[in-house]
Amino acid sequence: MAKGVLVDIPKCIGCEGCSVACKLWNELEWDQQEKNKTASDRAAEPNNGLWPEEWTSINRYDLQKNSSSVRRYVKTQCFHCEEPACVSACFSKAIQKLPEGPVIYDQKLCVGCRYCMMACPFDMLRYEWKKAVPGIRKCQMCPTRVANNMEPACSSVCPTGALTFGDRDELLAEAKKRIKEKGYIDRVFGENEAGGTSWLYISDTPLEEMRFRTDVTPNPLPSYTEGYMKATPMIGVSWAAILAGLFVINNKNKDPLD
């Protein structure tokens, strides 16, 4: 059964332990400039604080709730779509969706075309612009851990229960239970967006105020292009046959010495 992570936004205290765990488990480089940024700084960045060596980011938002000021922290990373547009767009098969849930990336297969970046409806992939042989970088959802029924490094260190790992179907039921009990906004982000995601979010404040893409179609994005993509090989073969025929016709009556 596919796994997932439920993010209970009001429970997050912004300790950034998940970010540190991600760095350590994935052996990511520590950038001093990024290290010095605050959660507010990252929330204001166009890329939500995600960089090639920053696979997860904690962003702070100061909001209004019932005429009172509240502070919310949001963990941001690849959402690991159920039917990923990035996988559909990657012709080199560098990005794959595992049955357990993670969407993984193999840099050895990547050709650097960045089609996956353009396809992602949530803008979660980052390109290594500064490298001579660049590739794509993103959260991998700790696939070796998940395959062995261990939770991702990030959720394993969460001290407040803001991150809950488990079967996606069970997490959806738990999310709806918490929404009812705690009076949260009646929406589980990730239940239907782009066909559904492995990461699910619930909140007591409007999601769009925390830069969530709430206008994403509920349909899997590959469903819009699958028919065309399946027809592409046939179109290629047809054009090859047409061009070969034109070549034969054009040269049929020519003198070989011309």
**Do the annotations mark residue 142 as ligand-binding?**
yes
**Do the annotations mark residue 120 as ligand-binding?**
yes
Q: Where are the alpha helices (DSSP H) in 3-159?
A: 17-26, 32-35, 39-44, 85-89, 115-119, 143-147, 153-156
Per the structure block, which two tokens stand in for 36? 């010095």
**Do the annotations mark residue 145 as ligand-binding?**
no
**Do the annotations mark residue 233 as ligand-binding?**
no
**Do the annotations mark residue 117 as ligand-binding?**
no
53 and 31 in contact (C-beta within 8 Å)? yes
63 and 90 in contact (C-beta within 8 Å)? no
Q: Coil, strand, or helix at residue 207?
A: helix
79, amino acid identity? F
Length of the chain: 258
At which residue do the structure tokens 């009812």 appear?
180
**Do the annotations mark residue 26 as ligand-binding?**
no
CA distance 56 to 44: 15
Per the structure block, which two tokens stand in for 205? 């404040």
CA distance 90 to 215: 24
Residues 6+ positions from 117 with CB-CB distance below 8 Å: 86, 123, 125, 126, 127, 136
**Do the annotations mark residue 116 as ligand-binding?**
yes
- What distances in angstroms separate CA 59 from CA 44, 54, 56, 62, one per listed residue? 8, 13, 10, 10
**Do the annotations mark residue 15 as ligand-binding?**
yes
**Do the annotations mark residue 139 as ligand-binding?**
yes
**Do the annotations mark residue 27 as ligand-binding?**
no
**Do the annotations mark residue 95 as ligand-binding?**
no
**Do the annotations mark residue 81 as ligand-binding?**
yes
**Do the annotations mark residue 220 as ligand-binding?**
no
**Do the annotations mark residue 214 as ligand-binding?**
no
CA distance 145 to 129: 29
**Do the annotations mark residue 183 as ligand-binding?**
no
**Do the annotations mark residue 158 as ligand-binding?**
yes
Binding residues: 12, 15, 18, 22, 78, 81, 86, 90, 110, 113, 116, 120, 139, 142, 154, 158
Binding residues for [4Fe-4S] cluster: 12, 15, 18, 22, 78, 81, 86, 90, 110, 113, 116, 120, 139, 142, 154, 158
